Structure 1
């Protein structure tokens, strides 16, 4: 097919520097946004504190310094008090209430500097927290930015630029060099290299031609494509990925839920403890200081900042994690069960061996085999025909007659010739003579895990072809990475035992369970769990569904374009790349380790501060400063996950991601 694509008119644009109603509106929106931004309160309060200090110390006028100091406490403290009241209305005693009470008490006892410093530092910490948490969600923002706003479609033979959401399923979309693909679809015509890193994480552009699938949000890096839209709007792979990441980042991990339950009791406990300390010692400032330094802010933020960053980083790499709970579970994986077909292998057979009999050439063997297979719909016919074409042989026409022998092979007649392609049994049933060398070739191919096809022409055997499912090139490296940490590795397959053992030997898996039905795979996963393992099941097909659901972590391979896999799998690998399995475990372990580090920093900081207050030397302002510093340390530590490169994995020990 050759599409004739007419040019699209270029819309007129405003003169450079012209101020349009739209630009004026944008400026007003930016001004209002800046005025309401998290830094406005901090900057205003900081300015007032600076004026008060200048008046008190440089001008030696404490009377002039008091009003701006009180105003600074009010400017920074009122938003905190509003949030505290809002929490109280819902029955929650939060960090803001502790700061509000402490600041109010400081003003009552005449400690204006303490009140202003505490509220100012808390406001700065809140602004920094909002900014840095926003950065941890940048992966989702980057995904949103991938969605193109417009698309060029062919309507009545004319190129029309429409909003991407207005493209209809089945419409023809034109994609030029440098364009972002606006829909999921199949290429009708043209060719281009498409950067799919945003969807699958694959760094090398993929060549696309007629029949290939393309995904919304990917980028054409040269060439020209005419695409039939199969998924538009919210039905694209990109939209499903964004939806899944949004949900995953909002879902709470078990550690986060535990800390939040702890904080609900801890915060009222701090208030009671501060009151008791004040009553016993008669020192109101001590009680107020305990309120400030007892804030569990770093503890509360320690888990979500790491989980959100971990899920966001995984999404960048084409690994979709369903939520924090599954990320935590993935960090504890001790056994990995692999499906074979479509997982360890590509799921499409290739011709691996062409062994002609004495007196027959390789080309003759391929030619007659392809002649017979040209009339077959069997999956093994395709690799024979592809090999013949690559060998430069003229693609055969359809034979005159075709007689399939189910489970054994095919018989074809062309002119006066009869061609047989099939199993050893089929050739024996045809009463043809096989020499010992041919029999040994058949046996050796079967032992190597390949399917032997004996080819016969009329009354003589021409030779043997070997066909096998192509092993994924990264399979051995992925298996080795998982085994390096002591993971138990198992292959669960419904295929023939000899084929399964041959594939397992190649990739390095010792435990092979072949000839399994879907319910048998389910039983195998449960048996591993009964042995105390945390089990990940890696598969790609419907027959893997029960085992994927029963496993502690179900990992779906090659989920790009599969809405079911994206929505249902605990972990979905958008690219069919087995190396993403150890990579996902590595990132999960790094995330959990970061959570533990953050919790430790939070608890140690609070403990040291409380000891410092009770022993003397830690003031309210100093306590708040150290507390806010610990919050920033926790956030910065969590954000390191966004800077990790691809990692190796130690399944029993810690993951070892490298940082830029």
Structure 2
């Protein structure tokens, strides 16, 4: 691709492509390519000017070489990326705003007064009818106030004031609708399905294939903890499926033969085979958008209070207008109250503030599923961390395989990978990755695998029972034994590593040592969270007391609990909530799901299990725990902004009313100042909360 560099600073390039125009699809394709280019931190593409801005780390030459190798036809972009792009939406609303401004001022400058009066009167009918309709439903709410202000202005032949009120109301509606649709679209895109590989059933074999290879009519197997990748019908098995992200249902639904399964829902328990109906990503996206639009998820309680207060103030505004006229017999003073209503600003600025905060969180790799979760995040005083994959790095690695009974270490690793690849957990991924690096390929040689949450896996290999998992599961639950001549070797296994125990026919076959290093930023992030208002920081893990104590000391948590089960985490959170604390839970595994559901705010790590991401209220990137600190700061700043907006709206508009009643301001001036301030505060609410 031909391009030239328009501007450059260290780590940042602004380039111009050698093409006359760029379609939305081309812009999305280029953006997808740039964001996945090695060394690129972030990118933006501007289709109107055919420009792109690239922020990068590392080699400048490598980034420029990567850009020069770009060709639209060579890039395979997932269909859901193009189908759910918000680029066309942004262009549409930008054009609406520009058209609205040009038309309004064009009419005032060039349209003769009689024609302008006719146009304003005709336009006002829409608002007046909306107010009448509200009254017919026995409600005195904001539309009634708008209709009264516009109607009285038209009757007084003050067409300039009527036109200004309708213009600013129209601008506000466009801004609110644009921000709402964009935020919902961004949220839906981040919640949209992104499945890499699936288990495809062919004859009696299960084959791990890329999701793009699956066709309608194929059968795929979905096990506990995994997301259902496609819409379809259940042909075999039985499972409890969590559909909360799609339907809002909190209770899992039983799916068995003949049931309909939906893409994006998650198997909480059991295993099912699904005959694929559709493979496109758009249906999942559309369902999410519908669910968000119809639910109250996007509303924080402060938003709800603002809207409720806005409607409650309407009768007082109307009453104040009538009373002022009765006492003063001055229409201008009465109209000064009517032209200034608190409700417009309250109902517009609050939702825009919340939706803008959700958008800003998205720029920091945090997907927030609703405004109420940001409010809960701001109020939280307790945070509970899972250890593995959360405080420790998301990608643990196998450092050693210690065999027993003269078993071959590579054969033991191969068997372990064969079992672990069916289940989403960071430890399981480490085993599978280690086997892949050693080119230890395998055929599916075991019978149906059974996963015991927070314990391990049990199956049968050539009539031999095999189990793999924690010490508690293998030696206490399954009563497996250490070979007589292996006790000394067992006692000398390095303690600094996490251990997976593999046993065959009741005897220990191997211990897999996994390095699970602490994140470099963990201690600093914990301290920063304290500074942001978290007073109690807890770590909970299924690891041994020795490992938990060592990590707790290094991180600096207030409390830690070792060898805990999933229900222990959830019970601890319920006790904290009962004591009046607001609790955040941060986790990444299947075993964290009950606690994520129980917390006031459940936060999942993006590289974790699919069920954790689906159940969680917020998902953060796996790169840096500092994103939690940023999220807390955004939440705190959002609540401050909402309260500041509230105080400003009440104070400023009360001042306008006082000036109007005192005769200092004319109704036209009051209306102009009120609507201009509403627009200004709404625009300010769209700005980023953090510098």
Q: Taking structure 2 as the reference length, what is the TM-score of the superposition? A: 0.58
Q: Is the 8 A contact 1:559 1:574 kept in 2?
A: yes
Matched, 1:514 2:562: yes
Where do 1:616-627 residues align within 5 Å?
616-627=663-674
Q: Does 1:129 align with 2:172?
A: yes
- Cα gap change, 1:312/1:232 in structure 2, threshold over 3 Å: closer, same or farther? farther
SS in structure 1 at match of 2:584: strand
Which blocks of at least 5 consecutive residues in structure 2 are unaligned?
1-91, 194-211, 221-228, 232-262, 265-274, 421-426, 446-462, 472-480, 503-510
Could you say which residue in structure 1 is the equivalent of 2:139? 92
Residue 525 (structure 1) aligned with residue 592 (structure 2): no
Aligned partner of residue 537 in structure 2, secondary structure: strand
**Offset of 1:278 from its aligned partner?**
0.6
Residue in structure 1 matching 2:182, options 130, 138, 144:
138
**Does the residue aligned with 1:430 lie in a helix, a strand or coil?**
helix
Match of 2:159 among 92, 116, 119: 116
Alpha-carbon contact 2:336-2:657 (below 8 Å) kept: no
Which residue does 1:495 correspond to in 2? 543
Determine the structure 1 residue equivalent to 2:583.
535
Shift, 1:625, TM fit: 0.8
2:640 pairs, out of 573, 576, 593, with 593
Compared CA separation, residues 84 and 585, structure 1 to 2 (3 A): same
2:397 to 336, 341, 350: 350
Match of 1:632 in 2: 679
Superposed CA offset, 1:422-441 (max 9, x none): xxx947x317878xxx97x6
**Structure 1 SS opposite 2:299:** coil
Q: Separation in 2 of the partners of 1:478 and 1:229? A: 44
CA distance in 2, matches of 1:83, 1:453: 69
**1:278 maps to what in 2?**
325
Please report how far the alpha carbon of residue 539 of structure 1 lies from its aligned counterpart in structure 2 after TM superposition: 2.1
- Given candidates 235, 241, 253, the residue that maps to 2:300 is 253
Deviations 1:54-90 (A, max 9, x none): x8xxxxxxxxx5x356435414422321222232233
Please provide the CA RMSD for this pair.
5.0
2:311 is aligned, of 235, 243, 264, to: 264
Contact preservation (8 Å) 1:93, 1:267: yes
| Distance apart, 1:336 and its partner CA | 0.7
Contact 2:187 2:369 in 1 (8 A): no
Q: Which position in structure 2 is the counterpart of 1:153?
A: none
Aligned residue number for residue 556 of structure 1: 604
Q: Does the alignment pair 1:331 with 2:386?
A: no
Moved more, 285-294 or 87-96: 87-96
- Cα deviation for residue 332 of structure 1 reads 1.2
Contact 1:42 1:120 in 2 (8 A): no
For structure 1, the residue ranges without an aligned partner over 5 or more in a row are 1-32, 56-64, 149-163, 173-182, 186-214, 217-227, 356-365, 410-424, 455-463, 645-656
Q: Is the 8 A contact 1:367 1:393 kept in 2?
A: no
Deviations 1:378-436 (A, max 9, x none): 8699978977997x89999x9xx999898999xxxxxxxxxxxxxxx947x317878xx
Q: Are the equivalent residues in 2 in contact too, given 1:139–1:316 (CA < 8 A)? A: no
Distance 2:435 2:598 in 1: 44
Helix, strand or coil for the counterpart of 1:618?
A: coil
CA contact (8 A) 1:45 1:75 kept: no
CA–CA distance in structure 1, aligned partners of residues 319 and 394 of structure 2? 65
CA distance 1:86–1:288, shift in 2 (3 Å) = same
Q: In structure 2, do the counterparts of structure 1 residues 231 and 283 end up closer, same or farther at CA, with 3 Å as the change threshold?
A: same
CA deviations over 1:64-122 (Å, ceiling 9, x no partner): x5x356435414422321222232233333444334434544555xx53xx21221111
Q: Select which of 315, 334, 337 maps to 1:287.
A: 334
For residue 505 of structure 1, the aligned residue among 553, 563, 567 is 553
User: Which residues of 2 match residues 383-422 of structure 1 at below 5 A?
Assistant: none
* Match 2:529 to one of 473, 482, 486: 482
User: Which of 318, 322, 330 matches 2:369?
Assistant: 322
Change (3 A) 1:613 1:371: closer
Partners of 2:604 and 2:618 within 8 A in 1: yes
Aligned: 1:615 with 2:670: no
Q: What's the CA shift for 1:606? A: 0.8
Whole-angstrom CA distance in 2 between matches of 1:279 and 1:141: 50
How many pairs align? 490
- Which residue in 2 is equivalent to 1:430? 485
Contact 1:42–1:76 (Cα < 8 Å) also in 2 = no
1:302 aligns with 2:302: no
- Give, in whole Å, the separation in 2 of the partners of 1:92 and 1:260: 14
Deviation per CA, 1:264-323: give whole Å up to 9, x if none: 221111111111111111112211221112352112212111122223343455533332
2:590–2:609 CA contact under 8 A, matched in 1: no
- Quick one: distance in 2 between partners of 1:617 and 1:503? 67
Secondary structure of 2:336's partner? helix
Residues 143-175 of structure 1: per-residue CA shift (max 9 Å, x gap):
789999xxxxxxxxxxxxxxx9x9636499xxx
Q: Distance in 1 between matches of 2:351 and 2:564?
A: 41
After TM superposition, the structure 1 stretch with the greater mean CA deviation from structure 2, 262-271 or 73-82, is: 73-82
Instruction: Name the CA distance, whole Å, in 1 between partners of 2:428 and 2:320.
Output: 79
- What's 1:80 paired with? 127
Alpha-carbon distance between aligned partners in 2 of 1:623 and 1:548, rounded to the nearest angstrom: 50
Does the aligned pair in 2 maintain the 1:334–1:533 contact within 8 Å?
Answer: yes
Shift in Å, 1:534: 1.1
* TM-aligned CA deviation for residue 571 of structure 1: 2.2
8 Å contact kept, 1:248–1:323: no
**Conserved in 2, the CA contact under 8 Å of 1:99 and 1:118?**
no
Structure 2 CA distance for aligned equivalents of residues 329 and 567 of structure 1: 19
The 1:284/1:530 distance shift into structure 2, 3 A limit, reads: same
* CA 1:512–1:237: 2 relative to 1, 3 Å: farther
With a CA cutoff of 8 Å and minimum separation of 6, indicate the structure with the bigger relative contact order: 1
Paired residues of 1:286 and 1:613 also in contact (CA < 8 A): yes
User: Aligned residue for 1:13?
Assistant: none
- How far is the alpha carbon of 1:486 from its aligned partner? 4.6
Cα offset for 1:612?
A: 0.9
Quickly say closer, same or farther: Cα 1:323–1:408, change in 2 above 3 A.
closer
Q: Distance in 2 between matches of 1:37 and 1:519?
A: 52
Cα deviation for residue 482 of structure 1 reads 1.8
State the partner residue of 1:59: none
Q: How far does residue 481 in structure 1 lie from its aligned partner after superposition?
A: 3.2
> Structure 1, residues 223-280: CA drift from partner, whole Å, max 9, x if none?
xxxxx99983368875676556545787432112212222222111111111111111
